[in-house]
């Protein structure tokens, strides 16, 4: 998995003389966000009002290439639209009720939503039911069928001032961040039990004094914090000294970083 330092992260305290902190590529971040979420907004082209987009709430599952799989009914308006024109897009947003929606991550997958070939329906069914177990009650109804979005382009937004197009080939070849399954627990734990440590880490590794610090994101290369300072709210990204790939390792690394920060602040 590649990393990228291109782009400017929202409110990351770029006035600091500190060097840029490595981050996962937009492709990896897009794959991670789509992996972590299971419901998006599907836009199809209206058959009733030609030329106008039609939005629908859409549960989805992902295949190994990160392509969304939908289970949809022939009675649904979006299904009727897709039968007339397969062009569609799926908007997936960061699931964080406490964050500013315009400052949160989101990704739009653009592509063609087509019926899953009969030879692949069994695999699609298994994948979908793994993500949406309750669908077992209607998955075999005659008017329901599986569609898959063949991704042709991706647009990723990581917050204010962080955005860019991701080639479909890069999106498909990327993998979700290895910490993705544990992100919510890690963030909740740090914000509930280690607020003082986050303030210390921001001071030592980002050179920002703050009165309060909240971890907002974490990945294999580092984490983001939102800081309350005398000059208002700022953001910073802090790198891990080495790549972490599981929650046990991140605990060890964070303890090491806090010890280093404390030792050098004395």
Q: What is the pLDDT at residue 17?
A: 46
Q: Please, are residues 131 and 38 in contact by the beta-carbon 8 Å criterion?
A: yes
Are the beta carbons of 156 and 163 closer than 8 angstroms? yes
E-strand stretches of 78-230: 87-93, 106-115, 144-159, 162-167, 212-219, 222-229
Query: How many Å apart are CA 214 and CA 188, to the nearest integer?
Result: 10
pLDDT at 103: 66
Question: Which residues neighbour 214 within 8 Å (Cβ) at sequence distance 6 or greater?
Answer: 191, 195, 198, 225, 226, 227
Do 158 and 26 touch, CB atoms closer than 8 A? yes
pLDDT at 1 (0 to 100): 40
pLDDT at 222: 96
Q: Which two three-digit tokens encode residue 223?
A: 């984490």
26, 7 Cβ separation under 8 angstroms: yes
Q: Dig out the tokens for 7 from the structure.
A: 């782009």
**The pLDDT value given to residue 7:** 42
Q: What is the pLDDT of residue 21?
A: 80
What local confidence, expressed as pLDDT, does residue 6 receive? 40
Per-residue tokens: 98: 């406490």
Q: Residue 192 phi/psi, 5° resolution?
A: -85, -35
**Per-residue pLDDT tens listing for the chain (266 residues):** 444 434 443 333 333 445 678 899 999 999 999 999 999 999 999 999 999 999 999 999 999 999 999 999 999 999 999 999 999 999 999 876 456 677 678 999 999 999 999 999 999 999 999 999 999 999 999 999 999 999 999 999 987 778 999 999 999 999 999 999 999 899 999 999 999 999 999 999 999 999 999 998 899 999 999 999 999 999 899 999 999 999 999 999 999 999 999 998 77
Domains, the chain: 3-24+179-265 (3.20.180.10), 27-173 (2.30.110.10)
Q: How far is CA 108 from the centre of its chain?
A: 11
């Amino acid at each position: 998995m590649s990393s990228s330092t291109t782009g400017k992260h929202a409110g990351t305290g770029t006035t600091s003389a500190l060097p840029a902190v490595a981050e996962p590529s937009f492709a990896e971040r897009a794959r991670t966000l789509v992996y972590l979420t299971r419901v998006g907004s599907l836009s199809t082209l209206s058959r009733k009002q030609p030329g106008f987009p039609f939005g629908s709430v859409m549960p989805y599952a992902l295949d190994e290439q990160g392509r969304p799989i939908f289970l949809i009914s022939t009675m649904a308006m979006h299904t009727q639209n897709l039968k007339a024109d397969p062009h569609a897009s799926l908007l997936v947003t960061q699931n964080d009720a406490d964050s500013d929606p315009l400052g949160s991550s989101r990704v739009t997958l653009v592509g063609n939503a087509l019926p899953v070939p009969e030879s692949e329906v069994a695999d699609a069914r298994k994948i979908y039911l793994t993500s949406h177990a309750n669908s077992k009650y209607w998955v075999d109804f005659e008017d329901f069928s599986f569609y898959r979005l063949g991704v042709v382009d991706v647009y990723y937004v990581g917050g204010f001032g962080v955005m860019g197009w991701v080639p479909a080939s890069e999106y498909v070849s990327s993998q979700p961040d290895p910490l993705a399954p544990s992100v919510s627990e890690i963030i909740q734990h740090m914000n509930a039990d280690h607020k003082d440590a986050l303030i210390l880490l921001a001071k030592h590794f980002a050179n920002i004094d703050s009165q309060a610090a909240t971890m907002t994101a974490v990945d294999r290369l580092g984490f983001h914090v939102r800081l309350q300072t005398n000059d208002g709210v700022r953001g910073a990204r802090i790198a891990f000294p080495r790549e972490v790939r599981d929650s046990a390792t991140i605990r060890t690394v964070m303890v090491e970083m806090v010890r280093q920060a404390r030792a050098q602040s004395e």
